[in-house]
């Protein structure tokens, strides 16, 4: 199942400070509810885990988060997430594009989800992802 979402956000932080923050995976990954960094695999990549609650069901995904594109002049960065469901056959992969402007920016998320999470239905998946990203933007702007 593919889910595409756009989330604008605002911040009072200077644009260069916001840009540096989104490239700092040790700070960004824990901004996702249930997210944690497990280990560094390269200067731009980490092994991470997220515990996601979907209604009565809870799932854990483990995988990599990597900064694959950086453009400091336009304050744009692209991150990829590749994860597998612990104890299951599903995965949750995503491409996340951060485009910053003075006073905020936009997060464009293109996620592909399979397994038990996808079987919950598109409405549930969109709702869970939307809530996760909305919460993420609030925590990101507080950094």
Residue 57 pLDDT: 82
List, in sequence order, every beta strand (DSSP E) within 2-142: 2-10, 35-42, 45-54, 57-71, 76-85, 91-101, 104-113
User: What is the reported pTM?
Assistant: 0.93
Per-residue confidence (pLDDT) for residue 90, from 0 to 100: 92
State the chain's maximal CA–CA distance in angstroms. Answer: 44
Taking the domains of the chain in order of start, what are their residue ranges? Answer: 2-142
DSSP 3-state assignment of 22? helix
Give the CATH fold of the 2-142 domain.
Answer: Alpha-D-Glucose-1,6-Bisphosphate; Chain A, domain 4 (3.30.530)
Tell the residue number behind the tokens 């990829």, with chain if given: 80
Q: How high is the mean pLDDT in each 10-residue block of the chain (143 residues)? A: 94 94 96 96 97 86 98 98 92 97 96 90 88 92 83
Q: In this structure, what is the dihedral angle of CA atoms 128, 132, 137, 142, given to the nearest 10 degrees?
A: 140
Token readout for 31 is 């901004």
């Amino acid at each position: 199942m593919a889910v595409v979402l756009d989330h604008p956000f605002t911040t009072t932080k200077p644009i260069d400070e916001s840009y540096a923050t989104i490239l700092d995976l040790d700070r960004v990954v824990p901004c996702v509810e249930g997210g944690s960094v497990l280990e560094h695999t390269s200067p731009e990549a980490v092994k991470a885990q997220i515990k996601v609650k979907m209604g009565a069901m809870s799932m854990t995904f483990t995988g990599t988060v990597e900064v694959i594109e950086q453009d400091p002049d336009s304050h744009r960065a692209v991150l990829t997430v590749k994860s597998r469901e612990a104890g299951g056959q599903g995965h949750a992969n995503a491409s996340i594009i951060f485009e910053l402007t003075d006073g905020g920016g936009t997060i464009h998320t293109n996620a592909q989800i399979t397994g038990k999470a996808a079987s919950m239905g598109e409405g549930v998946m969109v709702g869970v992802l939307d809530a996760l990203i909305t919460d993420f933007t609030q925590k990101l702007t507080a950094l």
